[in-house]
Amino acid sequence: MLPDESFDLVWSGQSIEHVDLHAGANMCKEAFRLLKRGGYFCLDTPNRALTKIHTSDWHGGFIHPEHKHEYTNDELRSLLEATGFEIEVNMGVCEMPKTVETGKFHYTDFVVGNPVTPQPEGAYCIYFGCVRPY
């Protein structure tokens, strides 16, 4: 077991969606335990608000067969804050304007949407930069 407060940064890239809700909450708690005060937990994950539209023709499944839970922006924000993190940055990756506007998935959004947007709710992936408070 790694010692408490031993890291300045914990990064989780496209991984929290591969575990169930209980394990996801434990993952956040473990990141919090491992971080020094003032340390950062940074993570990104698909945005369920958009993947739900993407997978509507797939009988409500997830975008990858190994995904256990895909989070909405608000859901993941609530989990991180309940764990004790302060959210410093919350952005979207791959803005999906036509998909959001029409409620139907538009693959052209991958080309025409902004690669990074300050509106995470309308992006295919969500990113959080969180800090363990002092």
- Burial-class residue 96 by CB neighbours within 10 Å (0-12, 13-18, 19+): buried
Per-residue confidence (pLDDT) for residue 60, from 0 to 100: 60
CATH topology for 7-131 is: Rossmann fold (3.40.50)
Q: What share of the chain in percent tops pLDDT 70?
A: 98
Q: Is the pTM of this model over 0.85?
A: yes
The pLDDT assigned to 12 comes to 98
Q: Residue 59 above 90 pLDDT?
A: no
pLDDT above 80: residue 57: no
Does 88 score more than 70 pLDDT?
A: yes
Domain spans, the chain: 7-131
Average pLDDT across the chain, whole number? 96
- Identify each DSSP E strand in 14-74 by its residue range: 35-46
